[in-house]
Chains A and B, each alone.
Chain A
Amino acid sequence: MPRVMRIGRVELKVLDLEKSVDYYTKIIGLQETGRMGDSVYLKAWDEFDHHSLILTKSNTAGLAHLAFKVETLDDLAYYEKQVEKFGCTTTRISRGARLGEGEAVHFILPTGHHCELYTEIDFLGTAVGTLNPHPWPLGAQGIAPHRLDHCLLTGDDLKTVTRFFIEALNFRQSERITSVDGEELLGSFLFTTNKAHDLAFVKGPDAKLHHAAFFVDSLHDVFKAADILSMYEVPFDVTPTRHGITRGETIYFFDPSGNRNEAFASGYMTYPDMPTITWTEDKIGQGIFYHRRELSESFMKALT
């Protein structure tokens, strides 16, 4: 069975397009790669595809869609059937509907989020290239993450959405949060690569975004990201700490539309045969914030 390669792009709804572009280029440090209609396309310096983030002007904030890249057109057709077999309706998004993209398969997740699969997208290359490359580009702006890393979404029926990703898209579950008796699923962390998570869900209202995360190398880079965010007076949700879940090092903050971003470092590697780690609800505080060991109201309730 082919694997889905990775989370390839997210499209975020933003309230003020130019202010958002300014934030994602100057402070996050992504590169603008094109514009079409009310959308601006961006990529991180270490990504080689045309874009991993699309900002689209809207009168609400949140997630417009997220998409996973597969390796071949055959894999795309295979997973299209898998999604249909699971019971989700698929439609084809035509080539050229968005900048730099080929055809995509669209469907709505059991949690109400718009999701796509695709394989064709224009190639731009990384900022350091592929011939005798330097480890990082000189003159990078802002946080300058390597790549889009993962998303956390909220939804009501986490058992079904987990089953969807495992059965239809061949993902695995690295971690889960359950009620103390193990009956109820409150959090689900899913992967298709060797990362601790490529996509995660926590219990909450359907179709909402909790955060979109960008990958930085180390705890030092998380700390430096925090310094940069303070220089630009970006509002923090959570200052640098560690997650029990994924063991990642992290900081959370808000974009100009209130969409939560994360700068995420480390986290363990996964393999398809790893056993799923379980956190019970009574230990969720340290599962999420390993040092503080309690949740915060804003982290639990601020969603877009």
Chain B
Amino acid sequence: MVKVTLKARGQQFEYDCGAAETPLNAARKQFIPIPTGCVRGGCGMCKVKVLSGEYEQELIRSHDALSDEDLENGFALACCMTAKSELEMITVEDYAKLIDKANLEEAK
């Protein structure tokens, strides 16, 4: 069991995730509102940026949802990955807002 810290929908959630389940599945079981779609690595709704920690991403997935470049840059699909250590991750929606905010600060 590892601890996952997830930033989603402007909030921060902390939850436990088992070795045999996906971070998406563990979040949903605990009523954490992680964006969820096909849970087959096809639609990309559960795409996250992993900020810290070790994980294994299932490589058979839609490259529209998660490209090779995304993969290299630490993006993952929460429906088809497993946590190998404590994880800190943020949904792509929240990540985009974070980047926008950082750019805005920089421009000031």
Q: A residues touching B (Cβ–Cβ < 8 Å)?
A: 15-16, 59-62, 235, 237, 254-260, 297-298, 301-304
Q: Which residue of B lies closest to A297 (CB)?
A: B35
Interface residues in chain B, defined as those with a beta carbon under 8 Å from any beta carbon in chain A: 35-43, 45, 60-65
- What number of residue pairs across chains A and B have CB atoms under 8 A from each other? 66
Task: Taking A257-B42, A258-B43, A258-B65 as given, write out 19 further A-B residue pairs in contact, using a Cβ cutoff of 8 Å, ordered by the A residue number.
Answer: A15-B61, A15-B62, A237-B38, A254-B39, A254-B40, A254-B42, A257-B40, A257-B62, A259-B38, A260-B38, A297-B35, A298-B37, A301-B37, A302-B43, A302-B45, A303-B43, A304-B38, A304-B62, A304-B64
Given A59-B63, A61-B64, A257-B62, A15-B39 contact (CB < 8 Å): no
26 A-B residue pairs with Cβ-Cβ distance under 8 Å, sorted by A, are A15-B42, A15-B61, A15-B62, A59-B62, A60-B63, A60-B64, A61-B42, A62-B62, A235-B38, A235-B39, A235-B40, A254-B39, A254-B40, A255-B40, A258-B39, A258-B42, A258-B43, A297-B35, A298-B36, A301-B35, A302-B43, A303-B43, A304-B38, A304-B42, A304-B62, A304-B64
Contact among A60, A256, A301 for B40, CB-based, below 8 A: A256
Q: What is the minimal beta-carbon distance from B77 to any residue of chain A, in angstroms?
A: 10
Q: Which 9 A-B pairs rank lowest in CB-CB distance, beginning with the nearest?
A: A258-B42, A302-B37, A258-B38, A258-B40, A61-B42, A302-B43, A254-B38, A60-B64, A59-B63
Interface SS, B side: loop
B107 to chain A, nearest CB (A): 29
CB A13 to nearest CB in B, in angstroms, measures 8
Q: Which residues of chain A come closer than 8 Å to B41, judged between CB atoms? A: 15, 257-258
Quick one: which of B41, B60, B62 has the most chain A CB within 10 A? B62
User: Cα distance A254–B65 when bound, in Å?
Assistant: 15
Dominant SS among interface residues on chain A: loop
CA distance A260 to B43 in the complex (A): 10
Chain B contacts for A235, CB-based, 8 A: 38-40
A residues in contact with B35, CB < 8 Å: 297, 301
Give complex CA distance A90, B63 in Å. 29
A15 with B38: CB separation less than 8 A = no
Which single member of B42, B63, B64, B65 contacts A259 (CB below 8 Å)?
A: B42
The answer for the CA separation of A297 and B93 in the assembled complex, in Å, is 14
In the bound complex, CA of A121 to CA of B99 (Å): 53
Q: Which residue of B lies closest to A257 (CB)?
A: B42
Cα–Cα, bound, A99→B69 (Å): 35
Which residues of B lie under 8 Å from residue A304 when comparing CB positions?
Answer: 38, 42-43, 62, 64
Q: How far is the CA of A302 from the CA of B62 in the complex (A)?
A: 13
